[in-house]
Chains A and B, each alone.
Chain A
């Protein structure tokens, strides 16, 4: 599933958190797309995503998939960012005793997501951490 070409073409979104704002209705799409899901508009401008947001829902995965087993247990949340866009991301640096709650403020940080053994690629992207 992971390939060098895929990793390369996703750099703008994964590394720089670039999103697309519909110039017709203003809805912001992350990742960018060709058709607006709200108004079917087809013209967009590139906008940067904010790093700050709050937890909408979350889980702790005790049986992680291939590529993530060394990170078990894996905290994952849907985070609503300050611009209203929701993203699914891991929550990093959460001690076991620290209970996440819906509404908790978080901030996105650039981190290593996983390694792909066969292709030797290391994938980077954003994870949420508690905002202090």
Chain B
């Protein structure tokens, strides 16, 4: 396999982008990544998008987007693994470059979620659960994570305050990220005082509905070094993906995310690294409990200690291992198909030393963890400065 480098990153601001269509949002991020890399042609475009069919009534998305960029003729593939579609788009791009099928791949993710109302958005997101045996009974995504939160609390003594600490920390980070959907200070008490969505999860434990897109450019490491000049080159050294039962009732332990554990192990093995080697990480905090469970599954903290660590500030900027310096899905926003790529944009920015006020000093090894649905799939990548 050839070694793969990320040579350009691009992102548009996340939010309720009423004035922009899916293709316009996507093209903004794609152009930014091409410009950042100094490249104007690609061999392949991968697009992570969860449900353009339900959100905007559009399928056949990759071809549409290639044309939007004036690149009709190029190979283009849309991949889907619910909210992990973006991470999967990166993995698909890596496979193209590593195998030699393509030299230059534009990896992208996009979701346009605000063209439908809240009820239809809830329905579209709900299609990442088992529709016949979970959706049938009226479950929602906050409900699924609430049931995991309840199990985690019962097994480990995790508290609502610890969950709220994750939200407060990620909003504090979001204040430092110009691309974030929300720039607001949120305290632990604000979270605990917000409306209950699905007991024990409050409104401020949940990530928002977001329009957004992100893109990165891949090429073989040798070529990237020539192109980068004096700018640091970031290499993808580990990629792991794993699945679990989508149906929550079929999981042996509801307080664990098995797909995250497996994807993490595979990525660590490929990179020859372990949890203690990671300097900065973006994890999938679609709900506050998800960040706590992911940090345990990735081995950053022992099982049951993720909540305590968050409350103690271990995952804040300046802490032992800063998590979600971008603001995470919580504050940066969660355009589901774009999220996995947006995580990579943040880690590359950190490893290049270009993260400004939220820079983790001396970070040379970073990790991203993207998750589909209630943990039915997960994708982990490890990146290092060359």
A residues adjacent to B (C-beta < 8 A): 1, 6, 10, 31, 37, 56-68, 71, 74, 76-78, 86-90, 102, 113-114, 123, 125
Contact = CB atoms under 8 A, between A and B. Distances in A.
A57 B254 contact: yes
B195 to A, nearest CB: 7
Contacts of A90: 137-138
Nearest to A72: B138
A45 B198 CA distance: 38
Contacts of B134: 88
10 contacts: A31-B132, A31-B133, A60-B199, A63-B122, A65-B138, A76-B139, A76-B143, A76-B147, A86-B250, A87-B249
B197 interface: yes
A56 B151 contact: yes
Interface string B185-198: 00000000001111
Given A62-B196, A62-B198, A88 B139 contact: yes
Contact of B147 (A37, A59, A87, A125): A59
A interface secondary structure, majority: strand
Interface string B117-146: 001101100100001111111111011001
B250 A37 contact: yes
Contacts of A77: 147
A60 B340 CA distance: 30
Nearest to A6: B132
B198 A58 contact: no
A128 to B, nearest CB: 10
Given A1-B131, A57-B151, A88-B249, A62 B195 contact: yes
Contact of B137 (A1, A6, A57, A76): A76
Given A76-B139, A78-B249, A61 B254 contact: no
A-B pairs, 4 with minimum CB distance: A59-B146, A68-B138, A86-B249, A60-B199
B123 A58 contact: no
A66 B123 CA distance: 7
Given A1-B131, A59-B150, A76-B147, A64 B250 contact: no
B155 to A, nearest CB: 10
